[in-house]
Amino acid sequence: MKKSIKLVALFVAFQFSSFSTFAQDKAQQIEQLLNKYNEYGQFNGSALVAENGKIIFKKGFGSANMEWNIPNQPDTKFRLGSISKQFTALLIVKLAEEGKIKLDVPITTYLPDYPKENGSKITIHNLLTHTSGIPNYTNAPNFFKDKAKNPYTPEAFVKTFWDLPLEFTPGEKFNYSNSGYFLLGYIIEKITGKTYEQNLQETIFTPLKMVNSGYDHSDLIIKNRAAGYEKEGNKIVNAAYIDMSIPYAAGSLYSTVEDLYLWDQALYTNKLLSAKSMELLYKPYIKAWNGFYGYGWSTYEILNGNDKLTVIEHGGGINGFNTIISRIPANKILIVLLNNTGGTLLGEMNTAIRSILYNQPFNQPKKSLALDLLDVYTEKGALAGTDAFKKLKNDPTYAIKEGDMNRVGYQLLQTGKKKEAIEVFKINVEAFPKSGNVYDSLGEAYLADGDKKMAIANYKKSVELDPTNESGKKVLEELSKK
């Protein structure tokens, strides 16, 4: 009997030792991967990876403050951008669970002053699932120039978009709208009589001991807060200021990778919501992007051998920061990447880390061709930029990355270099012919350059590839009228 007990103990010890070794090996691969992305100027932030609910990797890369050369750490605080939406969604579902709000009633039930022509058609569910038809306020012309730097009360800012015509009949389709989540924050305040920030603190952050998370305020001194930067090619500049009353319930929060691990773990329990209410967050309500949208989360399926696994995730982007949180409940996997140098390829990194966790092959990091091309197009013009592209495109250390090329194209467009922007967007179209977004960008550049015929052709192609491109449809409608 004693012998068998010893054998069992040895077997358990061997299993634990094997798991520990595998975890260490995976952690080393993840570190090597992110080190390379950091070396190539594509990741500057903090990362955390958990498997089977246990943290196997956490580390900071690059600088939280470049002026003072202060490194990023696992406790560095980053602005989350749209990851904030999942917290707003939970607050709403919590109110529904408590019987204080109904998800299927018009928003005028809780906002009686909201224009009834629109408000009587839009439900809370529509706001949560981006199916309201309310135009996205961040897409308004000159938004970042005219409004983003100014403080607003929630009530005053809601009035800047509540009279706008709906883009479609509520519930008809998905179109991502920060306006909907801004309204949800305002509704939370109306129902509870407390600020959105107070609700977050009392309902989520304090119970979960998320002491390094909160509503960001530019004027407050917040320990370990990362500064936000943007990349202009290979050059880094300070991010443009945005008043944090503007993102509000759609994107105003800050957190750390460690606090987001506490959040992830709580979502497997009933600390915040009942199991039935928790299910509402992840239901695939409406087709969106490459999967479906729930309440503040997107979901899609991946294959691991013959097994289908559901991924629950969301990204975020705000001046100087971009973020992603990705969860696979079947294996209690969590990947959190928080970056403070503007838009970068976190989706690509997330996919590679996931492949490491499932012992699958993955693409090694490559330098982004777009970052080197921006300087040439800016300083030497369209012909020189295109010549540089032809020389570099066959270099195996470089890759054409859709997001980076798109950002570079818009940076050129915003500085008045229309011909150069067109060339960059054309490169993206050639590299990604099945992406509706690249045709939309090229159409916008042609329109800015006065070539309506080519603009129409590219917008049409964009809408054909991406039927959810409501802004593209709107541009085509306006051009056809003219």
Query: What six digits make up the tokens of 305?
Result: 């051998």
Q: 3-state class of 323 per DSSP?
A: strand
* pLDDT given for residue 146 in this prediction: 82
Pairing of strands 54-60, 253-255: unpaired
**Residues 80 and 110: beta-carbon distance below 8 Å:** no
Confidence of residue 22 (pLDDT cuts 50, 70, 90): low
| 453 exposure class (CB count in 10 Å sphere: 0-12, 13-18, 19+) | exposed
Q: Which residues 6+ apart lie within 8 Å of 378 measured at CB? A: 233, 412, 415, 417, 420
Pairing of strands 253-255, 78-79: antiparallel
Task: Please compute the mean of the pLDDT values over residues 359-375 and round it to a whole number.
Answer: 91
Domain boundaries, the chain: 81-357, 367-481
Place of tokens 């479906």: 292
Task: Please compute the mean of the pLDDT values over residues 86-94 and round it to a whole number.
Answer: 98
Task: Please compute the mean of the pLDDT values over residues 385-412 and round it to a whole number.
Answer: 92
Give the dihedral of Cα atoms 301, 49, 259, 186; nearest 10 deg.
-20
**Residues 201 and 214: beta-carbon distance below 8 Å:** yes
Mean residue pLDDT of the chain comes to 93
Neighbours of 8 (CB within 10 A): 10
Kind and range of the H or E element at 50? strand 45-51
Q: Which amino acid is at 209?
A: K
Pairing of strands 321-328, 235-238: unpaired
Share of the chain above pLDDT 90, in %: 84
**What's the rounded Cα separation, in Å, for the pair 81 and 75?**
18
Confidence of residue 18 (pLDDT cuts 50, 70, 90): very low
**Domain spanning 367-481, CATH class:** mainly alpha
**Domain spanning 81-357, CATH class:** alpha beta
* pLDDT given for residue 193 in this prediction: 98
* pLDDT given for residue 14 in this prediction: 47
